[in-house]
Amino acid sequence: MAHFAKISDTSKVLTVLTLDNKDMLNADGVEEETVGQQYLEKHNNWPAEKWIQTSYNTSRGTHKDGGTPLRGNYAGIGYTWDEDNNIFYGKKPYPSWVLNTTTATWHSPIGDAPDDLTDEEKAAFTSLELEVHQVVQVVLV
């Protein structure tokens, strides 16, 4: 099964539909995204260019089975389609966070917490992130 995201005029994902792979075959029997887009346009009354293929197996710029990742992340409802970078990404968690277009994820301006922290250290790190976020908000106001 192939998955396609229905994109709004503001580049937001409205829904994700599945499509049988046979409905994506070109005249040579090869799967082709544009064939799937045309099928979806015909059967869903939505422009072909507003259907973007997405991979259920892709997250954070990595394919879970080691294959080629497709468009950063599996598109979820409310995600943004970034045509320039050819990625889907979720909502920005804080105004100061920056999008990493390689992994299609948001990153804190102070960096990510190390993986080997204790629960107490993770809580302190989260608290520090919130403090930095509040300071950035105050500076922006």
Position 135 pLDDT exceeds 60: no
The Cα 120–Cα 34 span in angstroms is 50
H or E element, residue 54: strand 51-54
Residue with tokens 């080997």: 116
pLDDT band at residue 137 using 50, 70 and 90 as cut-offs: very low
Q: Is residue 28 part of a domain?
A: yes
H or E element, residue 45: none
Q: Is residue 26 part of a domain?
A: yes
What does the pLDDT read at residue 125? 62
Give alpha helix (H) positions in 5-118.
33-44
What does the pLDDT read at residue 37? 98
pLDDT band at residue 129 using 50, 70 and 90 as cut-offs: low
Structurally, how many domains does the chain consist of? 1
Q: Which domain holds residue 88?
A: 2-92
| pLDDT digits 0-9 by tens, 51-98 | 999 999 999 999 999 999 999 999 999 999 999 999 999 999 999 999
pLDDT band at residue 109 using 50, 70 and 90 as cut-offs: confident
Q: Two tokens at 87? A: 């990625």
The Cα 37–Cα 22 span in angstroms is 13
The Cα 15–Cα 58 span in angstroms is 17
77-81, 111-115, 127-131 — which one is most confidently predicted on average?
Answer: 77-81
Q: Is residue 127 part of a domain?
A: no
What does the pLDDT read at residue 111? 77
Q: Is residue 72 part of a domain?
A: yes
Render the burial of 56-67: b for 16+ CB within 10 Å, e for the rest.
ebbbebeeeeee
Q: Is residue 61 part of a domain?
A: yes
Q: Is residue 49 part of a domain?
A: yes
Position 29 pLDDT exceeds 70: yes
Check if the beta carbon of residue 74 is closer than 8 Å to that of residue 56.
yes
pLDDT band at residue 119 using 50, 70 and 90 as cut-offs: confident
Give the mean pLDDT of the chain.
Answer: 88
Q: Is residue 139 part of a domain?
A: no
Q: Is residue 122 part of a domain?
A: no
